[in-house]
Structure 1
């Protein structure tokens, strides 16, 4: 088991610790999301994989901490927090904004000579596919409308004004990070990329999802979920679990199971 630092403990949550698992799966939340989004996936994958869910500042138990509004800064902080966990192979799973953060963390680790086994890019267009949306510049009503369009936030949040005021700063900060993100020049990843997307995702077309192959010299496979929206994962945990197990088995040539 990794000897975690205080810094790492602020960033990493383990809902179903699996100390003996030979592979760790680092999971990166979407914009406005938190580590608990991956609680179901952690339950489905433990003890085969040790799921390490990233907790961004400015939400839940880190509510008092300032939010970060830059993907690269966020990725650098997560990279540092993962240092104690790099003693065994790691794979990354990022949903929506989390896929972009995971990609930049993977680039950081490759530069450090510690490349991940592979990257699962879920519900997110490739870094090279830019949309000029500027959601972060909308007023609060406009920001809420953008969330409702994705159909992944509990309606109770929208009905609770106090709760909504509490979470909107983190959501706005995350959208600022997403809207202003541009990938920096540099080599492509060398690890495999497994792309997952719903066919009715308003934020990612199939062409934008397939373009992830431009960002790695390794294999890239696209899985499309028929009838799936942006948060297809909420109702397809079992299917996603099978894909994760299958792909990590391939990336490790079956040695992890």
Structure 2
């Protein structure tokens, strides 16, 4: 892909992205601004419009790759039913509006969930987030409690090797071992309409590094907020520019 040089790291041209690329986009902190609580984020209406237009322009080769549960993604981006790798790839849908399939995974033991919920109830600012196969403790509202939250989860997970703790953005996630965005990217890129295109992954935190590495290993590109895009608004502006640039002979 040819790339312009007016960016911290060169971005592919709009025509190349639309004709040959596959956009793989993290959600929180990449497409949309972070919020104190995961249920307080806002998806701009203009983003939905651009994603729908890009989906058509790229023959469906655009997917959200997120740690969120599929139900959260569907609610946030309704009425769109985009291709998605939810829960870091535990749930996959490769075609717009298609059926999602869930990997067969162990669920975190119920006593762990009760322990984490009790911790959140005792500590103001700790937010518990339920997921089908695991759960998250968010400490964005109580940064000093990040280490105690980790210690609690480690005391649980260390007893069961099928699970691991993932460091996210001001949060700790308990999830089944071996599920990550790198696996999700590789699986997505094997299926139509992604197969044969070059993956372009954009993310913002440590949970996205596996996805970026996989995209690059497949001959594609990986970009980060804030290294390559200063903020989610810049990512959204770039997506808008892809649609405008597709009709500009100079791009």
TM-score greater than 0.5 by the shorter chain: no
Measured against the shorter chain, the TM-score band is 0.3 to 0.5
The structure in which a higher percent of residues are helix is 1
TM-score using structure 2 length: 0.33
Q: Higher RCO, 1 or 2 (CA under 8 Å, sep at least 6)?
A: 2
Q: Which has the larger Rg?
A: 2
The structure in which a higher percent of residues are strand is 2
